Amino acid sequence: MGNSCMLSFFFLCLIGGLGLVKEVKGLACNWGTQSTHPLQPKIVVQLLKDNGFDKVKLFEADPGALKALGHSGIQVMVGIPNDLLAPLASSVQAAINWVQQNVSDYVSRYGVDIRHVAVGNEPFLKTYKDTYLQTTFPALQNVQAALIKAGLAKQVKVTVPLNADVYQTDSGLPSGGNFRSDIHDLMISIIKFLSDNLSPLTINIYPFLSLNADPNFPKEYAFFNGSAAPVVDGSITYTNVFEANFDTLISALEKNGFSSMPVIIGEVGWPTDGDPSANAENAQRFNQGLLNRIFQGQGTPKRKTPLDIYLFSLIDEDNKSIQPGNFERHWGVFYFDGALKYQLDTGNGKSLVPAKGVKYLARQWCIMSPDASLADPNLANSISYACSYADCTSLGYGSSCSRLDARSNASYAYNMYYQTMDQRKGSCSFNNLSVVTNQDPSQDTCRFEIMIDLRKQETAPRRSLAGKIQNSTMGLILLLLLIINGAF
- Contacts of 217-226 with C-beta under 8 Å, sequence gap 24+, read 219/277, 222/286, 223/285, 223/286, 223/289, 224/286, 224/289, 224/290, 224/292, 224/293, 225/285, 225/289
Please say if 122 is a catalytic residue.
Answer: yes
Which region, left, alpha or beta, applies to residue 347 given φ > 0 means left and ψ of -120 to 50 means alpha?
A: left
Catalytic residue among 122, 243, 317, 328: 122
- The pairing of strands 75-80 and 53-58 is parallel
Catalytic residue among 60, 243, 267, 328: 267
Backbone φ and ψ for 141, nearest 5 degrees, come out as: -65, -40
Rounded Cα–Cα distance for residues 322 and 232 (Å): 36
The count of residues in the chain is: 488
- The answer to whether 249 touches 306, Cβ cutoff 8 Å, is no
Please say if 449 is a catalytic residue.
Answer: no
Query: In sequence order, what are the beta bridge partners of 408?
Result: none
Q: Reduced to 3 DSSP states, what percent helix, strand and coil does the chain have, rounded to the nearest 5?
A: 35, 15, 45
Rounded Cα–Cα distance for residues 204 and 351 (Å): 26
For the four alpha carbons of 268, 274, 276 and 280, in that order, the dihedral sign comes to positive
Catalytic residue annotation: 122, 267
